[in-house]
Chain A
Amino acid sequence: MFGSLYLKVFVNIILKRSETTVYIELFSNKNIIKNIEETFTTKSINEKMLDFILEYTNESPFYYISILDTSSAQGAIPTCSKNQIGIFHDVTSSEHRCFKEKWSYFTSREDLYALEKTYKPIGIDFVFSPFVMLAEFFKDKIDSHLAMFILVEEKYLSLAVFDKSELLFARHMDVQKRRDEEALLVYDEKAEELHSYLDEGIDLEEINPIDELEFLDDFADIADLDALEEIDEFADSQDLEEEFYQDQIQESKGTLSEGFNEDFQRFLLIQSSVKRFYLEDKYKSIFIESVYIADGSGVSQDLKRYLEEEMFLSVYVRKIDLAQQVCELAKAELNS
């Protein structure tokens, strides 16, 4: 009743690898009065951070504290149906919500309690899933494109494949934690293949002649290349608007190649996820041509290069301010 008369204070917390970013926005009558961002060297909440938050929350009783979920046991499922959720994930110990009646996102209930316990001195009002953030951030693309969308945080990677707003596959990964598991898996597989080749050698006798090359005859029609309408279609599939945006980023960024290891790690995780998406039967497998990256930690051009060169994907990177995006979600949630 009196809410509109008061200042609204949105406190948005983003957990990074070894520090925490707090973005505070003072909002009144649809106008931003003030915004301030501060980074603290803590993974939970220290006295300095508490004082900083309390300084602003004391200004109004209508303050909302939001945080981006950091649970490693979170994810998204391509269904909202209670009967089908079990096929993708056991949600008995998870908290899950449905997004626009199309797909669900979940997180560990235990981690939610742990989060609430950690931030008990200030309390938590909203806990947002990175998948929701991804869906809202790329709303314009998700609704009309078939592509892979990735939210890159300093410590986490949230990956989702959408076909015109229909979720096909999603995975949330801890870059550090899974480094060994995932990367080694990929390397192991590659190493195994290599070793088997080296051990066995190439037995030419075992190589079957390619009898089924008849289909190559169809390429006889290639000569008829006058009607290049299909090529035009291919050209249409490129996201020109996004490419223009990419060029601008590149110009501002230059060709820095910092964080090589991390980007390579991220690339491996993306690669393994795509592999899993293609291989597992429970996911509707569709060929991915493009990938949209919401860059929340400042990825280098290497990741883009890896994806383009190794996986032949069209890569578009958009910078995202995670804290501001969390704030937008909090506002949207309040207005709903």
Chain B
Amino acid sequence: MRYSYTKPRKKSIFTPELKLALIFFIITLGMLFLTYGFLSFKDFSFQSQKAEMIEKRFDLGEAIEEMKAQIALINKESLLGERITTQNSVLKDSITNLFDLIPQRITLSEASLLENGLILHGITPNKDIYNFMLQAPLRSIFHKTYSSFYPLSNGWLRFVSTNYIEDDSFENNITDITEEKALEKEGEDEN
């Protein structure tokens, strides 16, 4: 039964001192949890970044290996290209020289360049012109020279000249020429 005119004030265990202490502890705990959360997040972030980096490094390693292989291949290709270029220039020079060798009075109808030889088809007014003016320079170039003549109706002769260079000497020639060319090129680059 109620006796009093007034209602008692609400009583709480949370006195101002206790409230202050609780607020202090709550803030402290909150800050600790926040710090813990922040550090956990950072740790997780670093771990994931680390894993990513490791993966990237591995990928880059693979890429480097691949690139190294590519560089080696390109170097090989470059060497091959240079070799082909040298060969081509040698061939070009040879052809130029060949045509320079051909005297005015001899007419070439066919020329076949072989790897280690040269086959010429043509007509000549006589054998002497051929022998002195064409065969002599050909012999100075090739090791083996074979000539065969067929008489034509107008008195001229059709000839087939087959010339061969021995394998070793051909390769040596080619190598010498290539090296010379390479040296020349290096000298140009340095300049």
Contact = CB atoms under 8 A, between A and B. Distances in A.
Interface string B1-19: 1111110110111110010
Contacts, number: 57
Contact of B13 (A6, A107, A112): A6
Classify the secondary structure of B's interface with A. Answer: loop
Contacts of A330: 4
Interface residues of B, number: 14
Contact of A64 (B1, B8, B12, B14): B8
A234 interface: no
Contacts of B3: 97, 126, 128-129, 132, 136, 329, 332-333
A127 B6 CA distance: 6
Interface in A40-80: 61-64, 66, 69
Nearest to A66: B4
A69 B15 contact: no
A39 B17 CA distance: 30
B1 A61 contact: no
Contacts of B9: 123, 125
Nearest to A101: B1
A64 B8 CA distance: 7
B15 A124 contact: no
Contact of B4 (A3, A6, A61, A126): A126
Interface of A: 2-3, 6, 61-64, 66, 69, 95, 97, 99-100, 107, 112, 116, 123-129, 132, 136, 329-330, 332-334, 336
12 contacts: A62-B11, A97-B5, A123-B9, A125-B8, A126-B3, A126-B8, A132-B3, A329-B4, A330-B4, A332-B1, A333-B3, A336-B1
